Chains A and B, each alone.
Chain A
C-alpha cells in the first residue's frame, strides 16, 4: 500500500503522531511503502497514493492547486487535525478584517488567501481524524481499519460523555467555568476538564451541535451569546461547516 503524508498551513503537530507510533511505525513500514513524507524522509516520489494523509488548512492559491493534485492522485484522502478538518487556529482571521490582521504582521505582499479553509471546501475528504493535535490511537485505528477493509471507528459522541465516564466533576457546575464539551467530539480523554478548565473545542464539533442550547447554558452562567461566539472563533474549529454559519 502506497502512502503519502502532506503538510499545508499548520504547526506540524499532527504529523508528529506518526513519529509517536515509534516501533509500530517501523512495523507499518513493512506493510506500507512511504512514497512521500517530507518530514520523515529525503526520498520522496509523487506517484499515485492508496492513502494520503493531509495536515493543515488551505490558505494560499498554491495550496488550492496542491490539494486538488493530491486528490487526483489518491484513492483515500484523510484530513488529519483541526487545520485540515476545519481551517485551524489560523481560521480565526476569517472572522476578522483580513487586511488589518495581515498588516499587523507583514508589510510586504505574499500570495495569501483572506480565508483559511478546510480541505473539504475544495475536495472530497474520505475520513477525518480529529484533534489539535490528533492522537496516535486515532491514527492507528484508521490505519488498521483501512488495512482490514472496515470502517474506522472514531468517537463521534460529545466530550461530556467521556468526561462523566472519567469521573470528573463538571467544570460548569463545580466552578462555573464555560466549557465547549457539550458540542465537542470526544477522543482526547476530556483533558481540559481533567485539568480543571473548560474544554476549548480542539477536537471540533459533533455532527449537529446544539449551539443555541449551549448559548442558553452560557446565559445561565451570566455570559452572553457574544462570549460563546468569541470562544468558538478561537476553538481551532470555528470555520467548521457545522459552526461557521451560526457565527
Chain B
C-alpha cells in the first residue's frame, strides 16, 4: 500500500495515526507527522554562529529556550568557552521558566480535558474553573521569568553564546508571582492526584535523561539508565533514521532498544535530586520511581513544576546582577556539542564551524523524534489487548495515550487523525 505524506520537519506538529487490521485484529500501526519540513539545519549552513539562538528557537514556539540553550552551549563547547557559574545559574532560572509554562500548558490546557472527558478547556472551565485558573496562574509565573530575562514569553532575545546580551538589575518582581504559583501548584496537585489514571505499564523501554549535579535541566552527561556517555558520543550510541511515513526522523539505541526521554525518564533516573519539597510531595502521594504508567506523567510534570518553582525562588532570592552579562567569544575552526533537557526530553545539537565562526554543518535531534518509537510501541501493546477496535474506540483511547507523551504542542492536543485500514 502506498502512503503519501506532505510532511514535517523535525518539529512536532500535526500528524496522523494509521492502524492496519486483519479480521478486526491489529496487524500494524504508523504514527506519522506530516508537516512540511522547514529544513532549519540546511538553512543554518553558511550563516554566522550568532544566528543559532534566534533561528533554532523557531523550531518550536513552546520550547524555544531549550533550542537556544543547547545551541549556545554547543557553540561555547566548540569555541572552548567556560561559562561562569553565576551566569549558568541565571540560565537555569530562565530554563525553569520555560519548563513551568510548558508543563502548565500541557497539564492544564491540553492533557486535563481527557481526564474530565471534555474536548477542551472551554468546557473544562464549566466543570472546574478554579482548577483551570490555578493552572493559568502557574503558567503565568513561568512566562514572567522568561519575559523578565528574555523580553517575551516565546522566542526571547537575550541568550547569546558567552552568556546574555543584557541582564536585569533586579529580579525581586518575580518573588510574589513565583510564591503564588508554588502555592497554587501544591493546591492543584492535591486535586490532580485523585484523578483516575488508567492502568497501563510501559514495557521494554529504556529511560534516557541527562545527568548533572542538580535535577537534570541545563547540561551534563547522557544517562542511559545508569550508563553515562558524553554529548559528543551521542551518535555512537543512538541512531537517528528516516521512516517513509513521517517527516519527523525516528531514533533508537544502536543496540536496537527503544528509549524514552522526558519527564518520566528524568523522574525515574534522577528522583533523588528533586528539591526536598518536590520529593516530599511525591513520596507523600506514593509517586516514586519507577513510574511506568504514562498517564501519570501528568503528576510527574506537576512534581517537576514544584521542583522548578522551588529552585527558581532560590535563584531569584540569591540574584545579584553579575558584573558582566557575557564573556568574549572568539570563533575557531572546530565542532561543538550541546545537550539540555527540553520540557519533553533531551535535545541534542552539533555544529561544525570554520575559523570565522561560519556554520559548516548543523545537526539537531529533538525529543519528539526520539520518542516516536516508544510512542508506537506503547500504542501497539495498548491495541493488542483490545478485542475489538473501532474508529471511535481509537479516537477515544489512542489519542489520550499519545497525549501522555506530550509530543510537542501543536500536536499534543489534537494531532491525531485516526484512520483504520483493513488489510
Contact = CB atoms under 8 A, between A and B. Distances in A.
B125 A60 contact: no
Interface of B: 4-7, 9, 11-14, 35-43, 45-47, 51, 54-55, 58-62, 64, 105, 109, 113, 119-122, 125, 129, 132-133, 136, 139-140, 143, 150-155, 157-158, 160, 164-166, 242, 244, 247, 361, 399, 408-410, 412-415
Contact of B62 (A12, A111, A135): A12
Contacts of A10: 61
Contacts of B12: 12
A91 to B, nearest CB: 9
Given A7-B14, A41-B414, A195 B120 contact: no
Nearest to A189: B151
Q: Which 8 A-B pairs have the closest CB atoms?
A: A13-B61, A101-B42, A41-B120, A43-B119, A62-B6, A191-B151, A90-B38, A11-B61
A9 B62 contact: no
B409 A12 contact: yes
Given A41-B122, A89-B55, A60 B36 contact: yes
Interface in A60-74: 60-63
Interface of A: 7, 9-16, 19-20, 22-23, 26, 29, 34, 38-44, 59-63, 88-90, 92-93, 96, 100-108, 110-113, 116, 132-133, 135, 188-189, 191-192, 194-197, 200, 202, 230, 234, 236
B61 A197 contact: no
A16 B152 contact: no
Contacts of A110: 5-7, 36-37, 247
Nearest to A11: B61
A192 B157 contact: yes
A89 B64 CA distance: 14
Contacts of B414: 38-39, 41-42, 44
A106 to B, nearest CB: 6
Contact of B154 (A16, A22, A106, A236): A16
Contacts of B410: 7, 12, 15, 38-39
B105 A19 contact: yes
